[in-house]
Amino acid sequence: MVRQLNKLVILTCALSLFFIQVKSQDISKLNEKIENATQVLKDFGSMKERIPEKLLDISQGIIIVPKMINAGFVLAGKRGKGIAMVKLPDGTWSNPVFVTITGGSLGFQVGIQAVDLVLIFKQRSTLQEIGNGSFTLGGDISATAGPVGRNSTASTDYKMEAEVYSYSRSKGLFAGISLSGSAIDIDKKANESFYKDFTSAEDLFSNGNENESDLVMQMKHELSSLYN
């Protein structure tokens, strides 16, 4: 009986250590995602074809997706994990919320690439409402491409009538990227791992003090630099 209890204790301790290690690995990957998103903001801030100041002045939210995979041969698919934030009424930025973007399309596309993607939102409510379910770019909300560099064939809506504007820095065989039909969802598992008391994305978007780690503060600093 004692031997069985000892085995049970050992097994329980082993499982506890395993789950702690898994949790630690999850946090490490999420911190790396924040670091990568910060670097994307730095890179976009130094590009010659910068996001128009007029758009930044009126925008209220952003999604940064580092190294989104875009691949296809006739049928194309997209998959990436990123970070969303909204501008609060006092001009500061909300807590980061982890999101995913997935999509597919038909057309003559050959190759695979990693794309650093930035989505600019005119209304904070668009992102705040994502907590109620996913939304589709070009379907549920209007989206258009902003200038993405000298090799881009994308056009820009200078009247600023779209709800979302996309900017990408491409590496690979594609000349550009289409986001029409791509779905954006809250990454609930990632948020639960990153925040001890995660309740909903809506709550995270409503304030900026849930996580004030050095990595998050640095990302917010780079984001403010992009907007100022």
| pLDDT higher than 90, residue 163 | no
Q: Report the C-alpha gap between 143 and 145 in whole angstroms.
A: 7
pLDDT band of 72, cuts 50, 70, 90: low
pLDDT for res 56: 85
pTM of the model: 0.78
| pLDDT higher than 50, residue 155 | no
List the chain domain ranges.
39-227
pLDDT for res 77: 67
Residue 80 near residue 116 (C-beta atoms within 8 A): no
C-alpha atoms less than 13 angstroms from C-alpha of 1 in its C-beta half-sphere: 0
pLDDT for res 15: 31
pLDDT for res 22: 38
Residue 115 near residue 67 (C-beta atoms within 8 A): yes
* Cβ atoms within 10 Å, residue 181: 15
pLDDT for res 76: 58
Q: Report the C-alpha gap between 57 and 47 in whole angstroms.
A: 18
pLDDT for res 65: 94
Considering only CA atoms, give the Rg of the chain.
20
Residues 6+ apart with CB under 8 A from 33: 66, 81, 82, 83, 98
